[in-house]
Amino acid sequence: MKSDDNENAENERLIEGSETEVQDKKRGMVLPFGPHSIIFDNIEYSVDMPQAFIFYEQPTQHSNEMQELKDQGSTEDRLVLLKGVSGAFRPGVLTALMGVSGAGKTTLMDVLAGRKIEGYIDADVKISGYPKKQETFACISGYYEQNDIHSPYVTVYESLLQLSLAAFTSRRNNIIDILPLQIFVEEVMELVELTPLISALVGLPGVDGLSTEQRKRLTIAVELVADPSIIFMDESTSGLDARAAAIVMRAVRNTVDTGRTVVCTIHQPSIDIFEAFDE
């Protein structure tokens, strides 16, 4: 009986230990971050109409194009690209922005990320209940781009460590302790499943080094090593076959499970990719 009690106690200890391990893994990494939500209401974004489309008294090709643009939503000398868009993105929730080509998915994400420097924006955007200020928002957000540009002549680890050093040095303007950053970079590599490639050269796309799918996971890691709370991802699975897309989405899911806010634009996803999203 005593032996059974000891065995039960040991089993309970193992279960508690495994639960703690999972919680610790989900809680995050050696460098903490604050989870943040985004709430936006009635976003409107317009740009100046190109001068080539000025209306002429006599019908011309330009005036016809001008009329087509007006029919698509332009008013007077401006073309309205977004109108009345509202929504919310939450920490630990993987959100998809879906729509046909030209629907405005990337435009909306660029407006929220503060990447639109031209045009006219009218929006109420709040970060965790506070009005968004681009200067501070840039420090807590990252943006994954489709082009996957990386230095080809360094290893995966060297690339991420250099970028992490640059990010934290620019924020704090002082000497950074290298050891926590090294540990953090290793944690990021584990998160996106790049640890087996720690010493691999990045290489040139389509020539040598990492595959397209591995380069996309490296791009995710590049954003993560700056320790953002919010990450925007533009077509993270474009150009990939089903297997490669599933691997990339697993890395995205792991990122969300750390408690970060992740938003992805996506076009014509497979059923497996579609079901990977929470909202």
Instruction: Report pLDDT digits (tens) over 221-254.
Output: 999 988 889 999 988 888 788 888 889 999 999 9
**Per-chain mean pLDDT for the chain:** 79
Can you state the angle between helices 178-191 and 242-256, rounded to 10 degrees? Answer: 130
Give the helix/strand (H/E) hosting 83: strand 78-89
Amino acid at 244: A
Q: Which domains does the chain have, with CATH numbers?
A: 38-275 (3.40.50.300)
pLDDT at 148: 75
pLDDT at 193: 92
pLDDT at 217: 92
Could you give the CA distance from residue 41 to residue 88 in angstroms, rounded to a whole number?
A: 9
Percentage, residues of the chain above pLDDT 70: 76
pLDDT bucket at 10, cuts 50 / 70 / 90: very low
- Token pair belonging to 260: 């970060």
Could you give the CA distance from residue 131 to residue 171 in angstroms, rounded to a whole number?
A: 21
Could you give the CA distance from residue 159 to residue 137 in angstroms, rounded to a whole number?
A: 24
Could you give the CA distance from residue 262 to residue 264 in angstroms, rounded to a whole number?
A: 7
Could you give the CA distance from residue 278 to residue 111 in angstroms, rounded to a whole number?
A: 22
Q: DSSP 3-state assignment of 9?
A: helix
Would you say the C-alpha torsion 134, 136, 140, 145 has a positive or negative sign?
A: positive
pLDDT at 89: 94
Could you give the CA distance from residue 53 to residue 64 in angstroms, rounded to a whole number?
A: 9
